[in-house]
């Protein structure tokens, strides 16, 4: 497949990536209540609060009940627009589908056309950029936005998670970083108290579940965290987490590169090969950071920003093939993957790295839009740690979100009654 494509780009300067409709039963798609693109030409899928500054892309996919400011944006790497629709799916706190009907959580009919789109301008790969304002919902909680083609809800294009909260509880934090013995060398613990004077919580020990999320990652959660003490007389839940399984590792600062300009590439870009279109970008070769001392980086905590310094019009941003290299004297016992927000924090085959025994290095190539990217290397193995190449430090600066869910009786749903963002080791 690679050889065929390289021959093609010699003769064609503007290469659309096409994808046929999935009418063939052999191409059936399975709904996943997670962040996922179901066709390879769907790229740079983001949900964030609406705004003109690139920095809004770094904000979580969370909004307050009544504040309908979240937008979906994505690129469809085709020359012509398609007919896309969206609907909202209500989920439990563990991201399984709830038993609620659409009428329970939607104030209007649950199907919305995607009508706001733009065609790219003079880009090496043509694409259509879509923007869609997420609809209002009636209940706080977890939701998945599903985008599909035409009237066929099984012809899935995108699923993207978002959350809506209602500020019914308040938080206080003692600021102490405590742990269980040696666990403090790599773990970060958040001690906090929840005050629920403004809401009646029935049996909070069983019906209240707290989720702690690090750096907006879905692969790094502490779930079903229970209070250490329930003080019903003053309506407080105190959380002092001493169980290492409910703590989160500090990890390491993320590796990063600046590809906001293809003409004048930024830090950690080794070179840009312009003899082919789309251009090929080579990131400086990386080595393992296991066992190295902690070093401060100004990273985006694993996130990325789409931005274009070559032409200030965002719709003129180009896509390029980005080549990653990780030097390793020998292969590890497991599969190695690129990881970051641009991979949806998944160990997808699209981001698996291949080992070259002669060069003694892992390599991977990914088609990415111009921007500023954080990334890391992770291992999927029964014997090798997930963070084998990155290392762990309690000093690492990380963003955290605390989500408080209450399982109500009417409606029988997990309501997101509290939400707060915190930073550990802020710079």
Q: Tokens for 389?
A: 């190449």
* DSSP label of 135: P
CA 118 to chain centre: 24
pLDDT digits (tens, 9 = 90+) for 182-207: 445 678 878 899 999 999 999 999 99
In this structure, the strands spanning 156-165 and 62-64 are parallel
Using alpha carbons, select from 321, 376, 330, 375 the residue that is nearest to residue 355: 330
Give residue-wise pLDDT tens across range 31-74.
Answer: 999 999 999 999 999 999 998 888 999 999 999 999 999 999 99
For the whole prediction, is pTM greater than 0.75?
yes
Phi, psi (degrees; rounded to nearest 5) at 120:
-65, 155
Beta strand 117-119 pairing with 128-133: antiparallel
Residuewise pLDDT in 10s, the chain (427 residues) = 444 433 333 333 444 444 434 334 446 899 999 999 999 999 999 999 998 888 999 999 999 999 999 999 999 999 999 999 999 999 999 999 999 999 999 999 999 999 999 999 999 999 999 999 999 999 999 999 999 999 899 999 999 999 999 999 999 987 554 443 444 567 887 889 999 999 999 999 999 999 999 999 998 899 989 999 999 999 999 998 766 777 889 999 999 999 999 999 999 999 999 999 999 999 999 999 999 999 988 899 999 999 999 998 899 999 999 999 999 999 999 999 999 999 999 999 999 999 999 999 999 999 999 999 999 999 999 999 999 999 999 899 999 999 999 999 889 999 999 999 999 888 7
User: Cα(273)–Cα(36) distance, rounded to whole angstroms?
Assistant: 30
Mind giving me the DSSP string for 260-309? S-SSS--TTEEEEE-SSSS-EEEEPPEE--TTPPP------TT-EEE--S
- The whole-angstrom separation of Cα 72 and Cα 160 is 9
Give the 3-state secondary structure of residue 338: strand
Tell me the two tokens of residue 111.
Answer: 């199907």
Which residues on adjacent β-strands are paired with residue 193?
172, 238
Query: How many Cα neighbours within 13 Å face the side chain of 254?
Result: 21
- The CA–CA distances, whole Å, from 329 to 28, 129, 333, 357, 384 equal 41, 42, 13, 9, 16
Cβ(4)–Cβ(24) below 8 Å: no
Distance in angstroms (rounded) separating the CA atoms of residues 258 and 267: 6
Which of helix, strand or coil describes residue 226?
Answer: coil
Separation between Cα atoms, residue 347 and residue 336, nearest integer Å: 9
The number of CA neighbours under 13 Å toward the Cβ of 237 is: 27
Helix (H) or strand (E) segment spanning residue 384: none
């Amino acid at each position: 497949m690679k050889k065929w494509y390289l021959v093609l780009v010699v003769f064609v300067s503007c290469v659309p990536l096409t994808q046929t409709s999935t009418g063939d039963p052999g191409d059936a798609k399975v709904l996943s209540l997670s962040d996922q693109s179901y066709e390879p030409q769907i790229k740079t899928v983001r949900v964030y609060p609406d705004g003109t500054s690139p920095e809004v892309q770094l904000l979580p996919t969370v909004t307050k009940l009544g504040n309908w400011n979240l937008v979906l944006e994505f690129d469809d790497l085709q020359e012509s627009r398609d007919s896309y629709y969206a609907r909202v799916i209500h989920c439990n706190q563990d991201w399984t589908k709830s038993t609620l009907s659409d009428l329970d959580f939607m104030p209007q009919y649950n199907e919305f056309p995607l009508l706001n789109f733009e065609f790219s301008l003079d880009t090496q790969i043509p694409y259509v950029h879509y923007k869609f304002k997420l609809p209002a919902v009636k209940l706080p909680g977890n939701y998945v936005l599903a985008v599909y083609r035409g009237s066929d809800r099984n012809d899935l294009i995108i699923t993207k998670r978002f959350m809506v909260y209602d500020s019914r509880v308040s938080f206080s934090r003692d600021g102490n970083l405590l742990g269980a013995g040696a666990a403090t060398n790599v773990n970060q613990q958040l001690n906090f108290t929840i005050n629920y004077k403004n809401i009646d919580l029935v049996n909070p020990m069983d019906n209240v579940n707290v989720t702690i999320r690090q750096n907006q990652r879905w692969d790094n959660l502490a779930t079903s965290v229970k209070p250490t003490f329930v003080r019903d007389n003053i309506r407080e839940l105190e959380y002092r987490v001493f169980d290492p399984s409910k703590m989160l590792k500090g990890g390491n600062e993320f590796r990063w590169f600046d590809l906001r300009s293809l003409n004048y590439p930024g830090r950690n870009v080794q070179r840009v090969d312009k003899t082919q279109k789309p251009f090929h970008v080579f990131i400086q070769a990386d080595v393992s950071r296991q066992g190295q001392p902690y070093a401060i980086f100004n990273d985006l905590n694993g996130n990325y920003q789409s931005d274009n310094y070559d032409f200030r019009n965002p719709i003129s941003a180009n896509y390029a093939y980005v080549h990653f290299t990780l030097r390793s004297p020998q292969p590890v016992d497991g599969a190695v993957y690129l990881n970051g927000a641009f991979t949806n924090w998944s160990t997808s085959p699209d981001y698996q790295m291949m080992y070259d025994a002669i060069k003694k290095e892992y390599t991977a190539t990914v088609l990415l839009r111009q921007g500023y990217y954080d990334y890391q290397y992770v291992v999927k193995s029964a014997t090798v740690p997930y963070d084998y190449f990155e290392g762990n430090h309690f000093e690492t600066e990380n963003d955290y979100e605390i989500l408080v869910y209450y399982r109500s009786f009417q409606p029988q749903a997990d309501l997101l009654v509290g939400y707060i963002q915190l930073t550990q080791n802020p710079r």
